[in-house]
Amino acid sequence: MNVTLKIWRQKNAQAKGKFKTYPLQDVSPEMSVLEMLDYLNMQLIEKGDAPVAFEHDCREGICGTCGLYINGRPHGPMRNTTTCELHMRAFKDGEIIYIEPWRARAFPVLKDLIVDRSSFERIMHTAGFISINTGSAPEANSTPVSKIIADKAFDAAVCIGCGACVAACKNSSAMLYAAAKIAQYAMIPQGKVEAKERVDKMVRQMDAEGFGFCSNTYGCEFDCPKGISVDFIALMNREFFSSKVCKQKHK
Amino acid sequence: MALAGIFLMLFLVSHLLTNLLMLAGDEGKAFDQAVELLGHPAVKIVEYILFAAFLVHILLGVLLQLINYNARPVKYKKAPRTEISTFSRYMFHTGVIILVFLVIHLINFFFVRLGWAPLPEYAEHSHDFRSMAVVLFQNPWYSGFYVVCMLFLGFHLKHAFQSAFQSLGLNHTKYTPAIKIIGTLYAIFISVGFAIIPVYFLFFYSS
């Protein structure tokens, strides 16, 4: 199949970027979008042009590294699919495909399609963990967790931190990401111990990073490649209110 | 945002129920009695809370819109295709329409009561809202404007009702679907309820 690519090219973080058009022939429908970009880059390198910079790692939908805004949607037209899992058969022969980087103040473009997502990491650094001493593994049955709760917490923990929620949100809000990271701990006994301080710190950091505020459009849920539910945002809001109301003053 | 919004949604119910008394067919006696209650000290206190709620809701709405707009300095070239409800996409826009309506509405009725706006010659006294409404609603332009604004109010409320619950973290696997249905019914009730009053006075009423 043949496609026409319109790709955002930007030399570095300071440079002004623009779209460049690349007609690409003989694309196999079995290629993933990333393989199609590899194929394009090989041709660009042979011509002596700079290849299109894009992030990728596992190429099996679990690392969260890849993330391109394809034809008006993060990770392209298929639901519950990361960019690396998206195949060219999802597009029509002769289609014009726009490929853009995530757009958000908190995700500045570094080069071409690569954005700096360390704002996500800084949210995690504040309290996205459980403070327990490492050592030998504790007795598994000493802290019972119901299967239902464990599964629900896992539904939040499947977040790969790709940033599609921010890219999809009309407000560039990171609420679904923060909610998933907070909820995965807030529901299980090990995480409940520090739940109040955690939600307070992580929400504060999220706001400081320059993400927008949630207006409950639920676009994040629609485009999350892992299908994370906005129910977790409600859980985060609930945790946040209770942390504000119940928080004790520490000397 | 959500708390102020919930207060405003409760206010809309009381306002609508009062207004519907105009259709009671008793030449406005029940309505006038309800209007007299506005002078009660307890109602006065609630009125101040209402103003605060409006102010908080409007200012936060504008602030959120500014922050959210700034959170994406470079917009996407390709128009977003992420599926979200139209009502949720245009909350700020419907909010602005309602604000414009609110200002006109206050000038027409509330300011007259306070004496800030001149008393129309057809009104007997500054609390004679029914006469003011009847005359205004018999103007097709005014009625049309009113009905359109109520339609947008309905759009706003359709998203607002369930959104307020979500923002406050009140979400439940069993009750959230019911809240969404109640929210839709609420939006239709308020929107249609307010809109039938001008329609009645325009087409079916002769004094």
- Mark yes or no for CB contact A213/B79 under 8 Å: no
Specify burial of residue B138 (Cβ count, 10 A radius: 0-12, 13-18, 19+): middle
In a domain, B93, yes or no: yes
**What count of other Cβ atoms lies within 10 Å of the Cβ of residue A26?**
7
Cα gap A239→A187, rounded to integer Å = 10
A234: nearest CB among B76, B84, B169: B169
Look at residue B122 and tell me if it is in a domain. Answer: yes
Q: Which residues of chain A does B168 touch, with a Cβ-Cβ cutoff of 8 Å? A: 237-238, 241
How many Cα atoms are found within 13 Å in the side-chain-facing hemisphere of A222? 19
Nearest by CB to A212, which of B71, B88, B166? B71
| CA distances in angstroms from B205 to A86, B7, B137, listed in the order given | 63, 33, 10
pLDDT at A251 over 80: no
Residues of B in contact with A69 (CB under 8 A): 76, 78
Q: Are B177 and B140 in contact (CB under 8 A)?
A: no
* Domains of chain A as residue ranges with CATH: 3-111 (3.10.20.30), 118-133+141-246 (1.10.1060.10)
Task: Identify the closest residue of chain A to B79 by CA–CA distance.
Answer: A72
The verdict on residue B168 lying in a domain is yes
- Band the pLDDT of A136: cuts 50, 70, 90: confident
> pLDDT at position A209, please?
98
The pLDDT of B10-27, averaged and rounded, is 93
* pLDDT for A135 beyond 90: no
Beta bridge partners of A45: none
Percent of chain A whose predicted confidence (pLDDT) is above 90: 90
- Poorest-confidence range of A106-115, A119-128, A157-166, B109-118? B109-118
* Span B148-172, average pLDDT: 97
In a domain, B83, yes or no: no
Give the pLDDT score at A137.
Answer: 83
Tell me if A170 and B64 make a contact (CB, 8 A cut-off): no
Are A77 and B77 inside 8 Å of each other by CB?
no
Task: Test A238 with B74 for CB contact under 8 angstroms.
Answer: no
Closest alpha carbon within chain A to B64: A213
Nearest to A57 by CA among A37, A40, A79, A34: A34
Is there a domain that residue B160 lies in? yes
CA distance B192 to chain A (A): 24
Chain segment A86-96, per-residue pLDDT in tens: 999 999 999 99
Query: Distance between CA atoms of B206 and A8, rounded to whole angstroms?
Result: 65
Domain count within chain B: 1
Q: Which of B65, B66, B70, B84 to mutate to test the interface with A (most CBs of A within 10 A)?
A: B84
Task: Please report, rounded to a whole number, the percentage of residues in chain B having pLDDT higher than 90.
Answer: 83
The whole-number pLDDT of residue B140 equals 95
Q: What is the mean pLDDT of residues A200-215?
A: 97
pLDDT band (50, 70, 90) for residue B27: confident
Q: Do the bridges between strand A69-70 and strand A96-100 make them parallel or antiparallel, or are there none, so unpaired?
A: antiparallel
The encoded tokens of residue B2 equal 């959500």
Q: Looking at residues B34-41, what average pLDDT do you find? A: 90
Is B98 a member of any domain? yes
| CA pair distance A44, A56, nearest whole angstrom | 18
Which positions ≥6 away from A109 have C-beta within 8 Å? Answer: A8, A10, A13, A17, A101, A115, A116, B74
Mean pLDDT of B95-116: 93
pLDDT score recorded for residue B207: 64
- Residue A102 pLDDT more than 90? yes
Give B156's pLDDT tier (boundaries 50, 70, 90).
very high
Smallest Cβ distance to B84: which of A105, A109, A217? A217
pLDDT digits (tens, 9 = 90+) for A7-25: 999 999 999 999 999 999 9
Q: Which two tokens stand for residue B144?
A: 């049309």
**Of B77, B89, B167, Cβ closest to residue A217:** B89
Q: Say whether B160 sits in a helix, a strand or coil.
A: helix
Which residues span the domain enclosing B103? 2-78+88-204
Confirm whether B119 is domain-assigned.
yes
> How many pairs of residues across A and B have Cβ atoms under 8 Å apart?
112
